[in-house]
Chains A and B, each alone.
Chain A
Amino acid sequence: GAVVSQHPSRVICKSGTSVKIECRSLDFQATTMFWYRQFPKKSLMLMATSNEGSKATYEQGVEKDKFLINHASLTLSTLTVTSAHPEDSSFYICSCEGSGNTIYFGEGSWLTVV
């Protein structure tokens, strides 16, 4: 079964509203989680590193005030897309590192902003 759960799997929101996506590690604790974004027919691009108990580290070009990341516990990281616009419509996916260097991905979340 899944070891990383992501929710919701699909969400449609209105332009200007905010959307929260959750990423949970089910069988292990993750002090670090990673958030990626994938536009259609493009690669997965790392957005940020989510650190439990401290601020997230954002990749160059990713607006930290627009993509709020909270990692309040060892099993949960959330990504909030604030004031969403149609260009934010994308596939968002999280990952965490488990034992043995294995990286587990969530199922991904499809965001459509209308």
Chain B
Amino acid sequence: QQPVQSPQAVILREGEDAVINCSSSKALYSVHWYRQKHGEAPVFLMILLKGGEQKGHEKISASFNEKKQQSSLYLTASQLSYSGTYFCGTERPGNTGKLIFGQGTTLQVKP
């Protein structure tokens, strides 16, 4: 079953923050986050494996609440280069490697 992402779209000014949520109705083994720009393949951002795990990559970080079957991606002090569509991909226990993607969140950062 496809995880649900929210919001569907976000428009920000440069320097503003955003949070993208990913929620699953099924138990999760891990959550992967990707960013995709128009016409390009998705680019891997990070993977979260353990409940409560948080990771950071420059000004992009994420958390994973295994109990709630949710993950959130935090974009702080957004830059123009952050524009794109963000997807969470979820792995279920016993089905590692197989990602089920959310519907995507389109982020537009304006000057």
The CA-CA distance from A106 to B101 in the complex, in Å, is 16
Contact A97-B44, Cβ < 8 Å, known A43-B102, A43-B104, A44-B87: no
Q: Which residues of A have CB within 8 Å of B102?
A: 43
The total of Cβ contacts below 8 Å across the A-B interface reads 50
Chain A nearest CB: distance from B81 CB in Å? 20
Contact A101-B98, Cβ < 8 Å, known A107-B41, A108-B41: no
Which residues 88-114 in A have Cβ within 8 Å of B in the complex? 93, 95-97, 101-103, 105-108
What count of chain A residues pass the 8 Å CB interface test? 20
Q: Which residues of A have CB within 8 Å of B44?
A: 102-103, 105
The CA-CA distance from A41 to B70 in the complex, in Å, is 24
List B residues at the A interface (Cβ < 8 Å).
2, 30, 32, 40-42, 44, 47, 49, 87, 89, 96-104
Chain B nearest CB: distance from A55 CB in Å? 16
The CA-CA distance from A45 to B42 in the complex, in Å, is 13
Chain B nearest CB: distance from A39 CB in Å? 12
The CA-CA distance from A25 to B104 in the complex, in Å, is 27
Chain A CB within 10 A, most for which of B32, B89, B96, B103: B89
The CA-CA distance from A102 to B97 in the complex, in Å, is 8
- Cβ A34 vs Cβ B41 within 8 A: no
Chain B at the A interface: SS class = loop
Chain B CB within 10 A, most for which of A42, A43, A49, A107: A43
Which residues 17-73 in A have Cβ within 8 Å of B in the complex? 32, 34, 36, 42-46, 49
The CA-CA distance from A97 to B32 in the complex, in Å, is 12
Q: Which residues of B have CB within 8 Å of A102?
A: 44, 47
The CA-CA distance from A49 to B100 in the complex, in Å, is 12
Q: Which residues of A have CB within 8 Å of B103?
A: 42-43
- Cβ B2 vs Cβ A101 within 8 A: no
| Set A49, A97, A105: member contacting B42, Cβ < 8 A | A105
Q: Which residues of B have CB within 8 Å of A107?
A: 41
Chain A nearest CB: distance from B62 CB in Å? 15
The CA-CA distance from A42 to B96 in the complex, in Å, is 23
- Cβ A46 vs Cβ B99 within 8 A: yes
